[in-house]
Amino acid sequence: MAEMNDPAARIGSGDRTVAGLREGAAAIAEGRGYLRENLRENGMIFALIAIVAFFVVILRVVPANPVDFLSPTNITNLFLQNSHVIIMALGMLLVIVAGHIDLSVGSVAAFTGACAAVMTVKWGWPVWAVVPAGLAIGALIGAAQGYWIAYWRIPSFIVTLAGMLVFRGLTLWTLGGQNIGPFDREFQSLSTGYVPDFVGLALPEFEAFARQPNWTALAVALIAAGAILWMGARARARNIAHGIAVEPQGFFWLRNLVIAAAIIFVGWKLAGFRGIPNVAVSMAVLTILYAFLTQSTVIGRRIYAIGGNLKAARLSGINADRLTFLCFVNMGALAALAGMVVTARLNSATPKAGTGFELDVIAAVFIGGASMSGGSGKIVGAVVGALIMGVMNNGMSMLGIGVDYQQVIKGLVLLAAVIFDVYNKSK
């Protein structure tokens, strides 16, 4: 009571209140500034969540028979149907960051899938021999195209456009205009196989908690979510210690908790079906590997350098020709892997396989935040962009929207992403 009657105490309390309000306002201003500067990168994550939420609601309201968009079966289908886009988007990001583009990835995927089908069905090769051979074919194709682009300075648009036509023709020749299949279970497991429930087998008493859980899927999801939170907090603390600017603490925890919650939710849903698809493991491993390559290695930083300013990169001693060549070799290998995954999922190699793949992959990379002029973009953004494309394709198909309208909508989304990139650069 004495403090309340003391004018000096009231003034001090008022000063503290004003100071607190100022700190809060400063924090809000800092958060807004960070969002403005990183809107493209971080906005895609929340855009993906918003698109998923839209389809969850609309599929319960519009159809005569409501559909659960987030059912375990549909989430599994999202992984299986879009795995090839995510795999190729990882390589396409490096190509685009380096200032180039690859229009041949769909045809290369189709050709290597056809070769894998011939090796499996007609020659009787085992899967452990088919996969390395397919990757080698893709890498050689990438090397052939990368040679003309890197060392002869022929525009990548022209070289890969020629490659798109050449390997589409070679696909038709390899298959003889017919489908080749079916495949043995080992080859099909590249796409349609599932990780065994090691935890459930080791601890069968867990089965008492639910009728059909896959405890391995739940355990992996919990570990992945915890790892994201721990590694993110550790990296943020390290940056602060070195005086590097970091995102506001509130936004950091909001974003990472949302991502962790989404991973746990997906793991819980997968646990209710058949567990983690093999291809999801491949995608996760490749995403981590390429994220490390681009963010924590000299090669990754040099690829960004040649895309940002080629002349300056050459003057600083960077071998831009070799890096460009390697980017296309890598792209060819990933296109081959994607082609074999799609072929395994369809259980047949078809002459029309891979049609339009290049458009989905390029759109995913640009939607995920890569700049069309090169030099910027992140692996996580490319993956998020691929997921956005996959969710849109899946949701529109479940709504019964025709392919013609789907193409229009996807084209408008890509145009909006590019316009947004140009707008950001003009500010």
Which residues of 232-331 form beta strands (DSSP E)?
none
Q: Judge whether 7 lies within some domain.
A: yes
Same domain? 139 vs 160? yes
More confident residue, 208 or 252: 252
Same domain? 146 vs 284? yes
Q: Judge whether 266 lies within some domain.
A: no
What's the total number of domains in the chain?
Answer: 2
Cα–Cα distances (Å) from 147 to 155, 156, 325, 329, 359, in that order, read 11, 10, 6, 9, 23
Beta bridge partner(s), residue 277: 194
**Is 173 within 8 Å of 114 (Cβ atoms)?**
no
Same domain? 19 vs 76? no
Mean pLDDT, residues 364-391 taken together: 89
pLDDT tens, residue by residue, 77-109? 998 989 999 999 999 999 999 999 999 999 999
Q: Judge whether 75 lies within some domain.
A: yes
Q: Judge whether 54 lies within some domain.
A: yes
Q: How many CB atoms lie within 10 A of CB 74?
A: 19
Same domain? 362 vs 419? yes
Distance of CA 345 to the CA centre of its chain: 19
Mean pLDDT of the chain: 85
Same domain? 17 vs 47? no
pLDDT over 80 (residue 29): no
Domain of 25, in residue numbers: 1-37
pLDDT tens, residue by residue, 195-229? 887 665 555 555 545 445 678 888 889 999 999 89
pTM equals: 0.87
Same domain? 329 vs 402? yes
Q: Judge whether 145 lies within some domain.
A: yes
Same domain? 144 vs 154? yes
Mean pLDDT, residues 390-404 taken together: 88
Mean pLDDT, residues 117-135 taken together: 94
pLDDT tens, residue by residue, 302-338? 999 999 999 999 999 999 999 999 999 999 999 999 9
Q: What CATH number is attached to the domain comprising 298?
A: 1.10.3470
pLDDT over 90 (residue 190): no
Same domain? 281 vs 330? yes
Same domain? 83 vs 138? yes
Distance of CA 173 to the CA centre of its chain: 32
